[in-house]
Structure 1
Amino acid sequence: MHISEENTESGGRYVAHVDGFEAEMTFSRASGHLIIIDHTRVPDALRGKGVGQALAEYAVSRARAGEWKIVPLCPFFKAQSRQHPEWSDVLQ
């Protein structure tokens, strides 16, 4: 699985390419040190393969590297963050 990042002035997305399909986790920038993860989309063909989890872990690693916080607005990311207390350092 390859995950890339696309950025705009107001946000961006993390994109996973798997078996010819594309999954994404989108985010908005609230400030230079705060992003809002607002949506995760995983095609049916990739469900159950850990793609959403990989996108969430990528978002957490990027937040740690950039020293910013995440507001988990997306229901999927919010649920994942409850299952991963070790992510608390990047959650607001």
Structure 2
Amino acid sequence: MTDLIYEPDKNRFRMPTPAGDAIVSIRWEGDVMVLPHAEVPSALRGTGAGAKLAKGVFEQIEAMGVKARPTCPFLLKVAKSDPRWQNLFGV
């Protein structure tokens, strides 16, 4: 996987790609990391880059051991597609 960078000072995860950065924005509600938005460069839409980004972010959240809640419809769709992520997020 392309390197995923957690940038807490910018409230996001960033995945550099040749077409530009793919991002998942975050915000904190108490001790819960909320994931309201994911975006990939338009040239990568439909290529699986968004799912790759989402899974990378989910793996990083899992490794961080923090509570998280995806609210972005795309991230929710990816989370619901795999029992591992269903369990992580309770969806």
Fold match by TM threshold 0.5: yes
**Sequence identity percentage:** 25
Q: 1:35 aligns with which of 33, 52, 71?
A: 33
* Runs of 4+ with >2 A deviation: none
Aligned to 2:66: 68
What is the root-mean-square deviation in Å for CA atoms of aligned residues?
1.7
Aligned to 2:6: 5
Instruction: Extract unaligned runs of 5+ from structure 1.
Output: none
- How many pairs align? 89
Task: Write the letter of the residue equivalent to 2:79.
Answer: S
The answer (yes or no) to whether the contact 2:35–2:71 under 8 Å persists in 1 is: yes
Give 1 or 2: higher strand fraction: 1
After TM superposition, the score normalised by the length of structure 1 is 0.82
Work out the CA distance in 1 between the residues paired with 2:4 and 2:63: 16
- SS across alignment from 1:18: coil
After TM superposition, the score normalised by the length of structure 2 is 0.83
